[in-house]
Amino acid sequence: MRVLVVDDDPGSLLVAKAAVERSGHECLTAPDGDAAWRLYQSHRPHAVVTDLVMPGLDGLALCRAIRTAEADSYTYLILLTSLGSREDVMAGMEAGADDYVTKPLDPFTLHTRLIVALRVTSLYTELARYHRMLAEQARTDALTGLRNRLTLTEDLQQLHHRSERYGLHYCLAMCDVDNFKSYNDTYGHQAGDAALKAVASALAGQLRQSDGIYRYGGEEFLLLLPDQSRSGAKAVLERCRAAVEDLDITHTGDPSGALTISAGISCYRPGHRVSSAELLREADTALYTAKTTGKNTVALSGAGHSGSGF
């Protein structure tokens, strides 16, 4: 554990440093609150042992500054004071301190406080890890590992806002596995899940790193293609369609005998600056066109089409 000790008394500082190191921890030292704040910002110690009265930032101000600066970490704060009054202790706790030790410092007492500090900060680190993991799970489709609709909503809003602000263009495509209900009915849901994972992987393999792919729901996938023209998007989706067809997943319920996809594309481009909701509607309409004109095909939305490369 990394411990920062702050005290304007050189003798007390040396005693505290020795006690911290004898407890098996790394120790940083500062002679005043201002220096301590700089060290905290650059090293982010797990625990801080700070004197109450000192030049620059006093112990209370330092505690408040640290609590304000914390984001995804927790620093255990121990107030070191020779005053020992209830008012000072209460003021320290209200400023964010977790515990206090009176001066002159007893190394054994500090050692016990650091044991508690290690337990608390370790627990907080573990809880933060679980929180990050749960947050990631909430944004990821459990079956395919793709980003889900929650993430799509955020990413699409951000992409649309940037494109709107800077006059950029982008396309989105809605993809649907053809005759998937009959596939599930014929081969079972376990085979259906395996097929969806294979399709997701095939689609992702045709995209740039800057593109986005999402499980939109059921057997539907949505692709975000930043800085992509209509013709470019059409070429990408044709590659995606061919990649799924090349999986050669047998589907006796499909006229082609294999599992295929259809896709509909819409584009935000010069002369067609519509809302993201309208683009989704246009892509869905184009997908319907692809579905009703033979499937295993890619259709471009005709909305706002001017005949240009965009």
Burial of 293 (0-12, 13-18, 19+ CB in 10 A): exposed
Please state whether beta strands 47-51 and 2-6 pair in parallel, antiparallel, or not at all (unpaired).
parallel
In terms of phi and psi (left: phi > 0; alpha: psi -120 to 50; beta: otherwise), the region of 191 is alpha
Among the listed residues 91, 81, 87, 44, the one whose alpha carbon sits nearest the alpha carbon of residue 66? 44
Q: Strand, coil or helix: what is 147?
A: strand
**How many angstroms separate the CA atoms of 232 and 273, rounded?**
18
- Catalytic residue of the set 26, 70, 154, 219: 219
| Catalytic (active site) residue 219 | yes
Q: Please report the DSSP string for 40-98 in residue order.
A: HHHH--SEEEEESS-SSS-HHHHHHHHHHH-SS---EEEEEES---HHHHHHHHHHT-S
Among the listed residues 1, 69, 8, the one whose alpha carbon sits nearest the alpha carbon of residue 35? 8
Question: ∠ CA 128-45-22 to the nearest 5 degrees?
Answer: 120
Q: Strand, coil or helix: what is 272?
A: strand
**How many angstroms separate the CA atoms of 24 and 107, rounded?**
13
For residue 215, give the DSSP letter. Answer: E
Residue 212 tokens read as 């986005």
Write out the catalytic residue numbers.
219
